A and B are shown apart, each in its own frame.
Chain A
Amino acid sequence: KAGVTQTPRYLIKTRGQQVTLSCSPISGHRSVSWYQQTPGQGLQFLFEYFSETQRNKGNFPGRFSGRQFSNSRSEMNVSTLELGDSALYLCASSLLAGGLNNEQFFGPGTRLTVL
């Protein structure tokens, strides 16, 4: 079974631009979560989608948005990029959502650099 895939793996943008990252979960998984990882802040939860609905949202500005499609693939969009948005963006999928032993399987991440 194929793992979680994220595209692109690397991205360089300039301030003010917008970017869209894509995540394809493991086949059969319906929950997709997004995280931002930076050296200073660690792993921070962005949002979670389940069956095309946003279940949870972290404490990020409205410039960060996402969506999930009927095939469970998810996209994350960041508008008006700032230097501080440079980070590794990780996507994780799980079979269900909210379960206590809800193991999340992570993708390789997209490394975004904002110049």
Chain B
Amino acid sequence: AQKITQTQPGMFVQEKEAVTLDCTYDTSDPSYGLFWYKQPSSGEMIFLIYQGSYDQQNATEGRYSLNFQKARKSANLVISASQLGDSAMYFCAMMEPGNQFYFGTGTSLTVIP
């Protein structure tokens, strides 16, 4: 079974609008960490936001927020007030204790002016 599933290969959003990128995960470990990374066309992966499995509140970092629904095993990324520079690939990832990072297949986001 896939550890991380991103079902949206491509998304479009109008500039200044909000967009939600979906991510579901699969683990039987009660302790885990969830991450979102952005990869522009240059190739470098940029860390955006982190959510721990025991965190009570949804993580927020500036215009990024993580909609964490533990029972559904989903960790959707919400980008508010989209900007042209947000156009990139977005990857959801999970870390289990003592284990490796698992990445999803990514979502390509295009911001339309």
Contacts and interface: CB of A to CB of B under 8 A. Distances in A.
Interface of A: 33, 35, 42-43, 45, 48, 56, 58, 88, 90, 92, 98-109, 111
A107 B105 contact: no
Contacts of B95: 99-100, 102
B100 A105 contact: no
Contacts of B50: 101, 103
B88 to A, nearest CB: 13
B47 A109 contact: no
B44 A108 contact: yes
B98 A98 contact: yes
Contacts of A109: 43-44
B102 interface: yes
Contacts of B42: 108
Interface in B61-79: none
